[in-house]
Amino acid sequence: MAAALQAQRLFLTASTSSSSSSSLTTRPRRTTAAPCRAGLRVPSGVQTTTASSIPADGGLKLDWIDVTTTSGSIASSPADRNTAVDKLRAVAEAAADRAEMHDIIGRQRDNWNHLLLHSTNSLTLAASVMAALAPAAPGTVAALKASAGVLLATAAVTMAAVNRVQPSQLAEEQRNATRLWRQLERDVRATLQHEAQQVTQADVQDAMDRVLALDAAYPLPLLPGMLEKFPKAVEPARWWPRRRPQQQPKSSSTTTRSRSFGRRGVRTTSNGWSQELEEEMRGLLRVLRAKDEHQYLTVGKLVLSINRGLAVAGPALAGTAAVAAAFIGTGDGAWASGAAAACGALAAAVNTVEHGAQLGMLFELLRNCAGFYRKVQEDIEAALGEADVERRENGEVFRTKVALLLGRDAAELRQFRGMASASVKDDDIKDYAGKLF
């Protein structure tokens, strides 16, 4: 009993001395660290020390336990979390509004394509008929000649303006933008519904980046800001933000060492990833770049060159017909009537092929398909570029998502494992990765 009382007296003395010394030397507080409680338990059977074994200053040395945590492991304050949730709700409302706007404008521009196509062809064909009948009616040749010339000139100007803006391509841009804005709205609302307690400012910034990327990819204004309809170089459409380099934790105590899958042939898995799965993704990445994306860009260049030629030929033929109509009824103008009628008919045919077949829409569709495969490539590169497999998305889930995007079964991706070998040349690759389109 006396020994226990003596130990208690010594512990109280040490606590008093340590509290007095801490009032002089202030230790830095970690505002981001959660408070921790320490307890001291003395097991039974431990012998107490005598007063002679206590240090002369009577102090008890206690080592500080430095607990460091990463910023991502500490939940944000309720106020910051509520602010982030409100911002995400604003992004969702903006995405819904944008989708409605693009849908309305897309329908309007699709109507432009049909109305302008039929109106221009009606003007051109009516003027061609007038030019052909003018020599047969000597009393009304001046009126027919003037009417034909005015209609053909109007048709030439209208064709030039329509070919410049490509209404069918504008409508396709708005249709694709509507789909992507609705997709963004669904993603944001799903985040708010299932992960409202874990929303951070990084989620808000990611949503804002997607909004800005979509605004730049599919602008609403017609002039100025319209996308170039006849670009010099054909590039895949890009409606997603460029990925920011991920910052790895600097502290060795908070960094998870990246894992290696070891030697080839040894099956080791971590977070759903394995050496075989990585080889599948690398082979798939190579096929997407060499075959799928390349195919759509090649066909897109062909369609663009055809559309560019027709866009020049239509107004040129209509303008030639208008000039020829001016010579109808003159002394040497026997040829003028036939030239005006023939050029007008050819202009109507060219205009029908260009806008009736909607070559502008076809070119935009090919750009979007190439952009789709480019995005799949970047997703795969981002996953493989993360050295720490624990920080990646689960490998099996990622594999299923990629298979769904390509219209394939997940088991079919194994055939691309051999494409990752450097011995396989791009010309030796015959199959395409995508089956969806």
Supply 222's token pair: 């017609």
pLDDT digits (tens, 9 = 90+) for 189-204: 999 988 777 888 999 9
Q: Of 51-65, 87-101, 171-185, 286-300, which gets the smallest average pLDDT? A: 51-65
pLDDT digits (tens, 9 = 90+) for 331-347: 766 789 999 999 999 99
Alpha helices in 134-166 (DSSP H): 141-165
Q: Is the pLDDT of residue 1 over 50?
A: no
CB under 8 Å to 164, separation ≥6 — which residues? 229, 311
Q: Is the pLDDT of residue 35 over 70?
A: no
Show the CA angle centred on residue 328, arms to residues 324 and 329, nearest 5°.
160
pLDDT digits (tens, 9 = 90+) for 357-406: 999 999 999 999 999 999 999 999 999 999 899 999 999 999 999 999 99
Supply 255's token pair: 């960094």
Q: Using CA atoms, how far apart are residues 40 and 64, in angstroms rounded to an integer?
A: 14
pLDDT confidence tier of residue 261, bands split at 50, 70 and 90: low
Q: Give the per-residue pLDDT at 152.
A: 96
Q: Where are the domains of the chain?
A: 78-238+273-420
Q: What is the mean pLDDT of residues 220-226?
A: 86
Q: What is the mean pLDDT of residues 141-150?
A: 92
Is residue 203 within 8 A of residue 342, CB to CB? The reply is: no
Mean pLDDT of the chain: 81
Report residue 259: phi and psi, to 5°. -95, 155
Supply 40's token pair: 């001291």
Q: Give the per-residue pLDDT at 349.
A: 97
Residue with tokens 């990622």: 398
Q: Give the per-residue pLDDT at 256.
A: 38
Q: Using CA atoms, how far apart are residues 331 and 334, in angstroms rounded to an integer?
A: 8
